[in-house]
Structure 1
Amino acid sequence: MSFGCFTVKNGKFYNNLSDVLDKYEIGQLLRAKEFCEVCVARDRLTNKMYICKKFQKRDGRHVRKAAKNEIGILKMVSHPNVLQLIEAFETRKEYIIIQELATGGDLFDWILDQGSYTEKDTSKVIRQVLEAVVYLHSLGIVHRNLKLENLMYYNQRNGSKVVMGDFYLSRLENGPITEPCGTPEYLAPEVVARHRYGRPVDCWAVGVIMYILLSGNPPFFDDLDEDEENERHNRRIFRKILAGDYEYDSPYWDNISNAAKELVGLLMETDQDERIVAKDALAHSWISGNSALGRNLREGVCAQIEKNFAKAKWKVTVNRGSCGQSPRHRHTHTHTYTHIHTYTRTHTYTHIHSYTYNHTHTHTHSYNHTYTYTYTHTHTHTHTHTY
C-alpha cells in the first residue's frame, strides 16, 4: 500500500513495520474499539498529529474484513465532513490506517460544555451530517453504522465543522444487502427484520441522532437489569423498532418545534420505501429554512444525556448481527480503569493500571521514548463476550 514492501511466497506484497515507524511515531492508546485500537500518531517530518488505527489480523476474519473494507471506502471518499485517509499500510500481522485527527470532542461533550444549546444548533449539526450522507449515497456507499459516537467536532474552535468517521461496516450498494450489522439502538426496522436494505438505513440513523440531540433521550430505550443478558434486552428494543414505537414525551419535547418533529418522523418512517431520502431531508425547512427555534434547551437536554448515556448502556456494534438469534452464552461485565501516561526527559514511560475488581493490580515498566506528553483518561467500558 505504501513503500518499502517485501514479497512473501504467495506473491502478496506487505509493508515492513519499519515503514510505518520510520515515518510516524505511534503514541498512547486513546481507546480500544470493537475491531481496532486507536492511537495518536505524529508525523516525524512535519510534527503533524494524526489518528492511527491498528487492526490485528490474528483477531479473526471479521477484523481483517473490516480493515480492508474501511481502507477501500476511505480511498473513495473526499468530503469536508468525512475524516480523510492519509495513508494505509498492511504488514504481515496488521492493517494500519493513518487518518485525520479530530480534536474537538464528541457531540455530547460539546453540548455539555455550551452555555446555550438550541434547535438551531442541532439543525446545523444535522445539516452537516446529511451533507456527508448525500455525498456518500451519491457514490453508492451505505455507511451502515451512523451513530453519535462516530460524529465529532474537527477542532475546538467556535463554529468547527462536524466530521464523520468509522467506515469499517460501510459498503457499496451494488446489489441487495441483507447482512444485519450496526448498533442495536440505531438499527432500522428492515435490518432488524432481516429484509433487504440499502441507503435508507442511514436516513433512519440520522433520525435517531436528531431525536437524541433534541431531547437527550434515545427514541427506543429499555432499561437493562444488571444481571440481564444483552440479547434479551436487545429483543425488546428490536420489537419497539419494528413497531416504530417511539413518542415525543413531555416535558422533553414540549418546547420542540413541529417542524423538527415532522423531520424526525420522516427520517424514522418504518417503511423504507416511504422514508425521506437524504437529499430531500437536506431541503426540509427545519434544515434549510427558519423553522428551527432559538429557545435554550441546554438544561433539559444535558440532564437527560447525563442520565441516559453516562452508564455505558449502549451496546457494541453488531456485525453479521444477532437480530433475534441468541448465542449459546453471552457474558457482560463493566469495569472502570485509569491510564496514566507520563513521558519525562529521562525517556521513561510509566504505565499504571488500577482495576476496580475485588483486588488491585499494579504494574510498572519502562522503555525508551522521545515523546513528551502527559495524558490521563478514565472511562467505563462494557465488554460483551460471546462463547
Structure 2
Amino acid sequence: MPFGCVTLGDKKNYNQPSEVTDRYDLGQVIKTEEFCEIFRAKDKTTGKLHTCKKFQKRDGRKVRKAAKNEIGILKMVKHPNILQLVDVFVTRKEYFIFLELATGREVFDWILDQGYYSERDTSNVVRQVLEAVAYLHSLKIVHRNLKLENLVYYNRLKNSKIVISDFHLAKLENGLIKEVPAPLSLSFLPHTPRRALQVSSSPRP
C-alpha cells in the first residue's frame, strides 16, 4: 500500500477510527505500558496476527512524542532481530502502531522462572543483540532502552531468534528524526535486572 502525503504533524488529515476496525480485529488489552496499551490484533483480510500499540493523544505531549518517535524510527529499520513495523493509523485521538507478533517470552521472564541461563544461550542472545545494535548504530540510531524486558523470543521454538522491541525512546545521533511522510495506512513486510546470570548447561528456552 503506497505512502500517503501527510506528515505525523499534520493536523488536517487523519484516519477515521473505522479504517482501523474495518481492517483489524482488536482483542483485549494484553499489556499496559507507560505510554500505551498493547493489543493482539487480527488482520481481517489475511487472518494474520499482529501486535497493536495504541497511544492516546489526550495523555499528553510525552505520549504523542513517544508515538511519533517510534513510528519514525521503525520506518527506517529492517533487520531480522528487530520487531518490524507492519501498519500505522493516525486518528484525531490516537496513534495505532501495528507490529510483527512475537509469540515467545521476554528474556527477562524466562530468567526469572529458570534462575539461570546457559553459557551457550547467553552467547547466542548477546550475539544477536550486538548484531542488531551494530545495524542500528550504522544508521546513527541509539535504542536507549535496551533491557531484558525488551528482548523477546520471536516464537516458542527451541532455536527461536531474539528480537528487540520498544523504540519509543530511540534517537538519531543528531537528535533529529525527519518528518517522514506518514501513510494514512501503511503496510509492508517481507533496566536490566541486577541479579547476576548463573552459567548452566540447561536446555534453551
Q: Is the 8 A contact 1:4 1:15 kept in 2?
A: no
- 1:1-387 pair list within 5 angstroms: 12-111=12-111, 117-174=117-174, 186=191, 212=195, 215-216=196-197, 295-296=200-201
Rounded to whole Å, the distance in 2 between the matches of 1:113 and 1:61 is 37
SS at match of 1:128: helix
CA RMSD of the aligned region, Å? 2.9
**Structure 1 residues 1-55: Cα deviation after superposition (integer angstroms, max 9, x where no partner):** 989999xxx8621000111100000001011100000000000011111000000
Q: Is the 8 A contact 1:143 1:167 kept in 2?
A: yes
SS at match of 2:134: helix
SS at match of 1:13: coil
One-letter amino acid of the counterpart of residue 169, structure 1 = L
Higher relative contact order (CA 8 A, sep 6+): 2
Unaligned runs of 5+ in 1: 177-185, 187-207, 217-251, 257-294, 299-387
Rounded to whole Å, the distance in 2 between the matches of 1:29 and 1:130 is 31
SS at match of 2:75: helix
Shift of 1:114: 6.4
Shift of 1:117: 3.9
Shift of 1:145: 0.8
Q: Does the C-alpha gap of structure 1 residues 174 and 115 become closer, same or farther in structure 2, counting only changes over 3 Å?
A: closer
Q: Percent of counterpart pairs with the same letter?
A: 61
Rounded to whole Å, the distance in 2 between the matches of 1:141 and 1:34 is 22
One-letter amino acid of the counterpart of residue 156, structure 2 = Q
Q: Does the C-alpha gap of structure 1 residues 116 and 149 become closer, same or farther in structure 2, counting only changes over 3 Å?
A: closer
**Structure 1 residues 106-162: Cα deviation after superposition (integer angstroms, max 9, x where no partner):** 113434666984112101001111111000000000111111111110000110000
Number of residues of Structure 1 aligned to a counterpart in Structure 2: 186
Q: TM-score, structure 1 length as denominator?
A: 0.44
Q: TM-score, structure 2 length as denominator?
A: 0.81
Unaligned runs of 5+ in 2: 177-190
One-letter amino acid of the counterpart of residue 55, structure 1 = F
SS at match of 1:15: coil
Rounded to whole Å, the distance in 2 between the matches of 1:163 and 1:63 is 24
Rounded to whole Å, the distance in 2 between the matches of 1:42 and 1:108 is 27
Rounded to whole Å, the distance in 2 between the matches of 1:154 and 1:53 is 17
One-letter amino acid of the counterpart of residue 61, structure 1 = R
One-letter amino acid of the counterpart of residue 151, structure 1 = L
